[in-house]
Structure 1
Amino acid sequence: MKISLERRGAVKSWHLIGVPLLSVIFGILVGGLFLEATGYNAILIFKTMSQTSYTTLYGIGDTLAAATPLIFTALAALVAFRVNLYSIGAEGQLFVGGIFASGVGIAVGTSSSALAIPAVLIAGIVGGMVWMTLPALFRAWFGTSEIITTLMFNFVALFLMRYLIYGSSTYWRDPTSTNFPQGKKIDQNAWLPRFGTQSIHWGLVLALIATVGIWFLLRKTRFGYQMKVLGDAPNAARYSGVPVKRMTFTVLIISGGLAGLAGASEVAGRAHALDPNGLAIGLGYAGIIVATLARLNPFGAVIIAIGFGGLQNSASALQSLGTESVPSAIATTLQGLILLLALAGELFVRYRLKVSKRVEVSA
């Protein structure tokens, strides 16, 4: 018997919906077996995950707040991936966006309160764009791999952010925090408003506006059409007069700005300061997973980001279950299993298993 992968003749609509759904269900089942094998009550844990993320008003608020930066970083990834630019620099661009946003947020204390929030958000966008500029230039005009350059810049941005808070008495560090260094609070005028007592802030609204904007850019503009041509047929794009170098540079800069806006929304909406521990939780890398699971669809990215945000939100709850508390390593492994199998299931959208019997020919 021989098992092989066979490409589907035509991908039907139920494949696009049913296969990912079955993959997630399979991931949950495998995760449950993993929990039982390690001595935990899988039913109680999944019940807690559901209650803390999706079935209470407070839990839904936390889930949407966690999903907000993921929407931005997913949009950043899918814009670049659409033209076969595999930038993985959203993580670093988010950090620098947070640095720029917090710097401006600290400085606006004496300025008009009406301008404080726009100034902080624009600063975050500019920060992400600035951090993407060199990788974009190298990719567009010298053909340097954007994977390598953006990854290297991620580490530089991480160490820069940590240095500004932990390594020196800089403008960003709160001078009153000596034993436990913390970022200086931005001016309250620069805080993004929240919805009542919930943790949801107006960054979510901005993320949804950005989603519609990116969809419009991709589907309804000449620039979006040129992106499609460049992504589907690079050689044809060159011969048809598409300015490939300029397009490459512009797309990467847009991607950087979206990632920088993720950092700004976290600073202005949640932490209200430059917080390395709060920002360096893999939001940029998670955005790549979200964009991939969404098949580079902006609206799909919103849905996947909410699901991913729920997984993140439930991780902390799993560590406070009394006698059934789950260590952070187990909680993270559980999330990873579900996401890994969900990603693996994407293979079966376009391929199917073929089982064939080996026929023996007698001499």
Structure 2
Amino acid sequence: MKLSLVDLATIKPGETATEALTQSLETARLADQLGYHRIWFAEHHMAPAQASHHPELLIAAAGTQTKRIRLGSGAVLINHYSPLKVAEMFMQLDAMFPGRIDLGLGRASSGPVIDLALRRDRNARPTDDHAPQVTETIAWLHNAFPEGHPFADKPLIPTVPTIPDIWLLGSSISSAHLAAKLGIGYTFAGFINPQAAAAALRTYRANFVASPYGTGQPRAMLGINASVGDSAEEGQRLALSVKGYYNRLQQGNYTAFVPTIAEADGELGDAERSEPTAISGSRWPRFVAGSAEQVRQTCEQMAAESEADEIIVQSMIADPVDRNRSYQRLARVFDLPSDTT
């Protein structure tokens, strides 16, 4: 099973976006050395807790500081952009770092104000055109518009011999069906909708149709949030950061920062603090935590139940030192092929 990371450039309380972005590049270098398969960068807008607003910028920066790890977006929010712009951007990234670029496509609402601000035509009625946007992006990358289409036979950058690897990110059954129909890779956000994860990934695999736009085989990836300690107790303590952040969001504080462990410990009630961090019966946790061995067992059970062949790990531990130590423990327990040169 492959193991990867998705980085949000979480801003530690009292620090700046500059420091968080610097730390993201340090995490990319570390992930490269530890043997993680890929690192993706998130897209968030007007989110004080995260500094990763435009993943393509971090991809370009990380590409110059890493050697072998794949680099991508988790995800570009295609509902806000022109497919031509997205496709051309990632073709250029692939020209810069051949064979290492992933284009992860997703969609999200950042709220009515931000959604409006991101739109060029603010007088048009919003429409759900996610599937056509994804399809058009793929067509641009593969020069696959049908004959007679106004965009046919207009290759983006003909001298680039490779094409970014295309993934669809989602948290519902509908996204699983779309990825399967298009024959591209599929990633399910298990930390958003854990109870639907296994069914969605199995649905994707069962309905997969081979196409020229992927490898010809289904590739199912499960996204989880994980906090890994030297002991079960330390893992649970580290998980307080993300539990505290989600608690702040649930209370309507959408401008909240991710709290430190001490802050979260003072804010959380007993129910939030004791929320399960491992599979209980048939219920999956929103946040996986514990010792390295406990987290490994949970990941392997999730992968088996969902038929995922890759786990991509997100961590929202506020302190970047603790966060990277968590990644190091996970890499060791999975015996990833580290590069110490």
TM-score normalized by the length of structure 1: 0.23
Does 1 or 2 have the higher relative contact order (CA < 8 Å, sep 6+)?
Answer: 1
Higher helix residue share: 1
Higher strand residue share: 2
User: Larger Cα Rg: Structure 1 or Structure 2?
Assistant: 1
TM-score normalized by the length of structure 2: 0.24
